[in-house]
Structures are given as C-alpha cells and as structure tokens.
Structure 1
C-alpha cells in the first residue's frame, strides 16, 4: 500500500537549477521509496520500462539508478525475477522523556510558520498502517507541510492521523499551528511518544521544498504519538535541514539511579531558538 506517487512532479532537468544527473535523481527517489516501505519490505521494483515512463527518462538512466541501489545493498537483481527489495532489520528505538518534547512542540507553533503543500484522506502506507494500528482499507488524514523560521524553510513533514480524528480539523487549521496543538484542542490528551532518528538524502521534490540541492544530507525523524490511554493518534515523518536545525538531549540519573533524558531542539540562524518542528 502506498500514499501516492512520491515522484509526482517532473525531475529537475536544468543544470542551472540543480546540477544533479537524472540517474542520481531517480536513484534518490527510489531509495526514499524503499526506506519508507513504498514497495513493501519484501516487494519488487516496477520494471525498468515502467519506471522510465513514470520519470520520463531513458531505460538506461533507470538501469544506472537501480545499479546504484544494488551496490548499496538496497535491492537484489535476479535474471527473470525482477529487482527484489532487500529486507533490512531496523535498530530498536531509544525511549525519551516526553516532558521537554511537549513543551517544544507547543512553543514551535508560535515561533515557526507552516505551509501545507498537500492535504487529504488516503489509504495508509505500510509504516503508517503499522504505527497507527489501522486497517489497510481504513482512510487516514495525510498532510505534507514545510515549516519555516524567519522565512527560511527548515523541515519537511508528512503526517498521518486516524480518519476519525483527522476529520475534526481542516487544511486551514494545519496552516495555523502545530498538529500537537490541534490534537489537544480536540480533546486528545497526549501521553507519550516514540521516535527514531536516521539520515536521509533530499530527493528532487524535497530539495525544491527546502531550498537545498538534490542529495543534500538531512536529519530524519519518524515519530508516533500516543494519547494517555496508549492509543496512537499521529504518525509523522520529518526531514530537517541540518544547517538550520539541531536536536540535543540531556541525560541524567533519577533518584533510583536510572537514566532519563530531556530533549531539546534549536532552529534558525545560528540555531538560536527552541523547537521540535511539528
């Protein structure tokens, strides 16, 4: 199950705009799809000719992009069987104290500005289905936003909310503040969150939205938010410009000797503000 084509805009073909070869742009889009479970953990890539038509490039360009994926261990090419996704086990996540995170999330709605790029109700992609504990045929609200600080974009967000919750607010509401604030305004008390950190590369679509070059390294965070009853109410993927966003965590022992952490994030010129960019 997918949340719609990721490469639904033409590749950037003008060297004056983004001096990145077409094969590498295709490679970045396919890599992002694989990492987000777009083709399934043990699925296969579409045929080269099908991908060539989708991206409006030659089959040779697609083949070179797939060869790079194979060299990175993301896919396996088999004669007569197509290109198979290589299943990779993800590392377990580290729990973090939610208190400082909540403060940053609410403060973010005041200090930064959001722009909604896409909004609607879709069938959940595999990761959102799993994290939100919803059925494959159950619609969820999906929103794509860019957050800016002092007019400079610093994060690209794709959020998913269960349909019965998402119907309580509109695209305009998503432009006005943080999703965390909207959830609480609708009577949902946030109790905890789990998040995983990784790295990603900017594909053409994301690079254009964030004002960076294709292939720019980005900080990636996947976060699932739960209410006080332990039910998932939001799953979000966030990509951050590392030149404008920094995530720091202070770790300390409690009275029982166990470690606890207090997360904090900074965003902006010189990273001089607190934010967790939601």
Structure 2
C-alpha cells in the first residue's frame, strides 16, 4: 500500500470566501475530485488539519470539518496518530444535499460537475409552465434541456423554463458553462426564495438515453419554482436525478406540538415537517 503523502495541489483561487458555499465544502469538493481523478491515489496520505488550513488559508476547524466530511462519505480513513489516507476502494461518486440546502448545492454543482446542453429554444408556455411562472398559456418562454455529468457520467436531466425577458439575457453557450441562477443574478435578477417538491418517477426512453439508464428505471423527480425579491417567478425547473448519483438528506428533531409528537427539520429556515402516521 502506498502511504506516501501526495500534494493536495491546493489552489487558493478555487476558494471563494464571498461564495454562499461554505469554505469547508469548497475544500471537500476539491479533495474529492482529486481522489476520483486519481491525483490522490488509494492509500495516499492527505495533508493534516493544520497543513490543509495553511494551504487554503482557512481555520483549522474548517479544515477538520472538510476531512471529517470526506471520511463520512467513505472516501478517506482518519486514524489518530497516523493521519488521513484515501480508502483503498473509494465508493462511486455521488452528490448529497439537504432538502433545505438546495441553493447552496446549486453553487457547488458548478465546481463538481459538467453540463451538456441538449436543447435551447423559445417556446409557447404549456399549462404547467404557465401556472408556475404566472404567465398566460402560450406566452413565449425560454426552455433549456441539459444533462449534468459527475466525473463524466450523467447524473441529472434538467428542464428549465424562464420568462422570455430573462431568457434573452444569456445564450446557449453560457448555459453550458454557468449555473442558471448565476446567469440570472449576473443580469440583475435578485433571487429571494423557492418552493420545491420531491417525488419519484420512471425514466421515459428519451430521458433514459440521456442518463444512460434503462427505460423505466426509477428517478428522483424534483420540481422547483424560484422567485425574486418582488415575488415574481423567475424560473421553473424540473430535474430528474439518478438515485445512485444524488441523494437528499434531512436532519430531524422530535418535538411536541398541540397536535401530538412530530418530526421537525432542524434547519431554521425551513417549515418541512414529517408527521407521524
């Protein structure tokens, strides 16, 4: 087993203190990509907490959390007195996010994944799109279909609709290089909040081909309406995820309410609850 310490190749330019993405998560993504790319080989020792903190100009607590998150994901093993080493057989790459942390995770996607634009056009709004964007049925909207790739493998199939005036502010090429929220914010859209639903569906033949799965395979079906500070819907997105590549998780706390005992999310900015049935 090769336990020679390999350089982390840390580039401080990849760490953005002004980003919504926490610093520990930015470091986690960089190290994770180095593991899956082979730059950090099985058995290789990672920098220690203090060394990692110095490399990225962050606190030791931040560096420690990044390493702990890698360990929780099964990518590294942390042993007291022996350091942190890459697992001999790291699990296949996946992306995990909390339901309430979707906006933060959207920013991470641009760091960890690639995108292929399959369709980019202006189309009449179908009934579901018109209802979501609060426009008249048949009104022109910008529609994009993309596939997001994680380490070269398709992870999700995205269908986005935005009002025409917003869609005209960027083009197909930009959609292939930047997250849609980033493009909208660059052009003056001030995103405030969103409402999303998560369910399950089966892959139709077109989606199955794009995601490299069999037709009829189960998929996570996420639909989200994003609003700006004026409460205007500025994006309606449907994302179909391969469940082997993407997971949602939620931290819950048992609380007593007048209706009885319930599960409530620990996140302060979400009202998601799971009631006992």
TM-score range, shorter chain: 0.5 to 0.7
Deviation at 1:111, TM superposition (A): 1.2
Q: Which residue of 1 aligns with 2:237?
A: 236
How many Å apart are 1:125 and its aligned residue?
Answer: 1.3
Structure 1 residue 146 and structure 2 residue 164: aligned?
A: no
Corresponding residue SS for 2:210: helix
Post-superposition shift, 1:149?
0.6
Q: Quick one: structure 1 residues 252 and 101, their matched pair in 2 at CA, closer, same or farther if it must change by over 3 Å? A: farther
Alignment of 1:214 onto 2:215: yes
Q: 1:181 to 1:117 in 2, by over 3 A?
A: same
Give TM-score, length-normalised by structure 2: 0.56
1 or 2 for the larger relative contact order (CA 8 Å, sep ≥6)?
1
Deviates more, 1:104-113 or 1:230-239: 104-113
User: What is the CA–CA distance in structure 1 between the aligned matches of 2:124 and 2:151, rounded to whole Å?
Assistant: 35
Q: Give the C-alpha shift of residue 185 in structure 1.
A: 1.0
Q: Distance in 2 between matches of 1:188 and 1:249?
A: 29
Matched with 1:118 is: 119
CA deviation string 1:182-209 (max 9, x = no partner) = 1111111111110111111111111100
**TM-score, structure 1 as length reference:** 0.56
Q: Give ranges in structure 2 of 5+ residues lacking alignment.
A: 1-97, 256-262, 269-277
* Cα contact 1:157–1:239 (8 A) shared by 2: yes
DSSP-derived class of the 1:230 partner: coil
**Aligned-partner Cα distance in 1 for 2:164–2:115:** 21
1:97·1:262 contact (CA, 8 Å) conserved in 2? no
2:187 aligned partner: 186
| 1:101 is aligned to 2:102 | yes
The structure-2 alpha-carbon separation of the partners of 1:196 and 1:261, relative to structure 1 and needing over 3 Å to count, comes to farther
Q: Which residue of 2 aligns with 1:156?
A: 157
Give the RMSD, CA atoms, in angstroms. Answer: 2.5
**Cα distance in 2 between the residues matched to 1:170 and 1:238:** 20
SS in 1 for 2:239: strand
Residue 252 of structure 1 and its aligned partner are, at CA, apart by 5.4
Structure 1 Cα separation of the partners of residues 188 and 265 of structure 2: 28
Shift, 1:260, TM fit: 4.7
DSSP 3-state at the match of 2:200: strand
1:175 equivalent to 2:176? Answer yes
Deviation at 1:228, TM superposition (A): 1.4
CA shift for structure 1 position 251: 3.8
Question: 1:53-72 alignment to 2 at 5 Å?
Answer: none
Distance in 2, matches of 1:223 and 1:137, equals 20
Question: Do the aligned residues in 1 keep the contact of 2:117 with 2:175 (CA within 8 Å)?
Answer: yes
Shift, 1:249, TM fit: 2.0
* Aligned equivalents of 1:202, 1:112: Cα separation in 2: 21
How many residue pairs match? The answer is: 166
